[in-house]
Structure 1
């Protein structure tokens, strides 16, 4: 699907009062090596945000001289 088609489908589903979680659960890759799989693991974003927070805290401690 093109970006325009994806946006159109998303707006249609939101118009049917589907939540973003419900819509995301229906997403599937249609071509390539990952065909049939969801585009992202479920907790990837939460994991990345947690990693950034931990790294930021570690950097701040090092800069303050508290290892």
Structure 2
């Protein structure tokens, strides 16, 4: 009997990107340079969108399992 683990590479990449965005917001968003302001905006969007996408993905998987009858 072998254990099979689902491929969670995308999840790990999303979490790393989320931590990078959070670190950038905390440490590097104090300047007034236009590129820095744009990067701060992108980091803020990522900070909110990544958790939302992860929650929607998990909810979709749970819904698929209940519809298929594999609950």
TM-score, scaled relative to structure 2: 0.42
Structure that is richer in helix per residue: 2
TM-score normalized by the length of structure 1: 0.44
Higher relative contact order (CA 8 A, sep 6+): 2
* Structure with the greater alpha carbon radius of gyration: 1
